């Protein structure tokens, strides 16, 4: 198969396996999604979903969050890890949203990435999942699978994102990035497949003999 043929197969097969693409992080609106995505850095979605109900019961808008002491935010989010930095970022971005954006989450990459604790991946998730704008957030699962399926050389997540955007139509990006994540968690896991045993890896590379070592 050519790279384009592999991409077309992946796109088609994942749509068959995952016709529905529910957003893994529980949220109510763009602001609560932004906070949940920020908390998910180096943390599982499952743990974030256990923590956010208490946080959002206390403050689920930027205005309310600015009234919560950073120490209290940190106490609640401690199970997510990196709690000191994340708490400061939540407090800081909430203040900026109130002072500069009328309490609303901005709808551009530039404005989102200017917020404390918000990098390109977090901004991409918010743009795609909150606002429906075409984006292709690349997490560890997508970075790993794109290399196993030889859709990218995988020298960096930036390169992986660029390569995947070239291969797939923009109208598929928002659902496809979730489908790849779902598949990476369920079938093509970091240690369970190694590019050799899951259905898609075996279909694309039936003669592969050696595990694929993921470039970080």
Catalytic residues: 121, 139
- Give the residue from 165, 83, 85 showing the smallest Cα distance to 117: 85
Sole residue written with tokens 């790849």: 180
Find all residues with CB under 8 Å of 128, minimum gap 6, and list them. 134, 135, 136, 137, 173, 174, 177
The total number of residues written for the chain in this structure: 216
Task: With residue 199 as reference, give the H or E element that holds it.
Answer: helix 199-204
Report the candidate in 196, 191, 201 with the shortest Cα–Cα distance to residue 211: 196
Integer CA distances (angstroms), 42 to 21, 47, 83, 138, 156, in order: 22, 11, 11, 14, 17
* Distance between first and last Cα of the chain: 25
CA separation for the pair 185, 109 (Å, rounded) = 27
Cα 112 from Cα 95, distance rounded (Å): 14
Distance (Å, whole) CA 35 – CA 52: 9
């Amino acid at each position: 198969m050519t790279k384009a043929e592999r991409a077309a197969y992946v796109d088609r097969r994942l749509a068959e396996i995952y016709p529905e693409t529910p957003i893994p992080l529980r949220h109510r609106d763009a602001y609560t999604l932004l906070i949940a995505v920020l908390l998910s850095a180096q943390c599982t979605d499952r743990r974030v979903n256990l923590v956010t109900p208490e946080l959002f019961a206390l403050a689920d808008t930027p205005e309310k969050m600015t009234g919560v002491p950073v120490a209290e935010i940190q106490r609640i989010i401690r199970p997510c890890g990196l709690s000191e930095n994340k708490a400061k970022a939540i407090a800081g971005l909430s203040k900026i949203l109130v002072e500069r954006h009328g309490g609303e989450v901005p709808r551009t990459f530039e404005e989102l990435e200017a917020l404390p604790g918000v990098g390109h991946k977090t901004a991409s998730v918010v743009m795609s999942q909150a606002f429906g704008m075409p984006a292709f957030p690349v997490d560890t699962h997508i970075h790993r699978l794109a290399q196993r399926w030889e859709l990218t050389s995988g020298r960096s997540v930036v390169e992986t994102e660029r390569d995947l955007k070239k291969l797939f139509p923009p109208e598929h990006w928002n659902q496809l990035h979730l489908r790849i994540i779902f598949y990476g968690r369920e079938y093509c896991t970091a240690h369970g497949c190694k590019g050799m045993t899951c259905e898609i890896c075996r279909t694309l590379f039936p003669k592969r003999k050696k595990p694929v070592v993921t470039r970080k």
